[in-house]
Amino acid sequence: MPQKDRELKQEVTSQDVVGLYTDLENLGVKIWIDGGWGVDALLGKQTRPHKDLDIAINQTDVPKLLEYLEQKGFKEIKRDNEHNVVFADDKGKELDYHAFITDETGHITGGIAYPDESLTGTGSIDNQTVRCISPEFMVKFHSGYELKEKDFQDVRAICDKFGIELPEEYARK
C-alpha cells in the first residue's frame, strides 16, 4: 500500500471493537476476536495500536454482518476469497472477516479452517468480556509467515501469561 494511503488510516480503538461486538451481539451475530485485538483481549489490555480488527464468524451470519457494515459506511476493499474479506470505512478503519462453515452439529467443516477448539477463548476489552481465539491457537496462528517485531511481542506475552512454551521460531538468538 502506498505510504500516502497508510497515513490516511486511523487506529481501530477499543471503543470501536466493543461497539461493533455489542452491536453484533444485539443482532444475534456471534463473532470471535482474532489477530492483534484477539491478543489484547487475551491479555486484558491494549498493548499497541491496531490498524484493523480481525474477526472469525460463521458463514451463516455473514449476510447480517454485511448489512451492518453497509449501514456503518464500510466498503469492501480486498477479497482473498468469499471467506476472507476486508472492509474499510471512510476514515480507513479496517475490519477483516474470516468466515467458517459448520455442519448441523456445530463442527467446522469448511471456509477458514479454524479448529473447533480454537473458538473457545474468552478475553476482555475495556472491561467487556468477548469471545476470542484461545491462547494456544493464538500462538499457533502466529507462525508460517515472515515474523514482525509485534509478533514476537504478542506471542511472548501470551506464552508468559498462559504458561505456554515459546515456539522455537520465536526463540531469539
* pLDDT for 92 beyond 60: yes
For 33-62, what is the mean pLDDT? 97
Domains of the chain by residue range: 3-165
- 33 vs 147, which has greater pLDDT? 33
Grid cell in block for residue 126: 475495556
Write the pLDDT tens digit of every residue in 16-43.
999 999 999 999 999 999 999 999 999 9
Give me the count of residues in the chain. 173
Q: Which residue in this structure is represented by grid cell 449476510?
A: 63
User: What are the residues whose beta carbons fall under 8 Å from the beta carbon of 8, sequence distance 6 or more?
Assistant: 92
Q: So what's the pLDDT on residue 169? A: 86
pLDDT exceeds cutoff 50 at 153 = yes
- Residue 65's nearest CA partner among 12, 28, 111 is 28
**pLDDT band for position 6 (50/70/90)?**
very low
Give the DSSP per-residue string, 139-164: HHHS-SS---HHHHHHHHHHHHHHTP
Cα 76 from Cα 86, distance rounded (Å)? 6
92 contacts 136 by C-beta, under 8 angstroms: no
pLDDT class of 172 with cuts at 50, 70, 90? low
Number of neighbours of residue 147 by Cβ within 10 angstroms: 14
Q: What is the pLDDT of residue 146?
A: 86
Query: Average pLDDT for residues 1-19, to the nearest whole number?
Result: 72
C-alpha radius of gyration, the chain, whole number: 16
In DSSP terms, 132 is beta-bridged to: 33, 121
Architecture of the domain spanning 3-165: 2-Layer Sandwich (3.30)
Q: Long-range contact list for 143-150, CB < 8 A, 24+ apart?
A: 143/167, 143/169, 150/36, 150/48
CA 57 to chain centroid, in Å, comes to 10
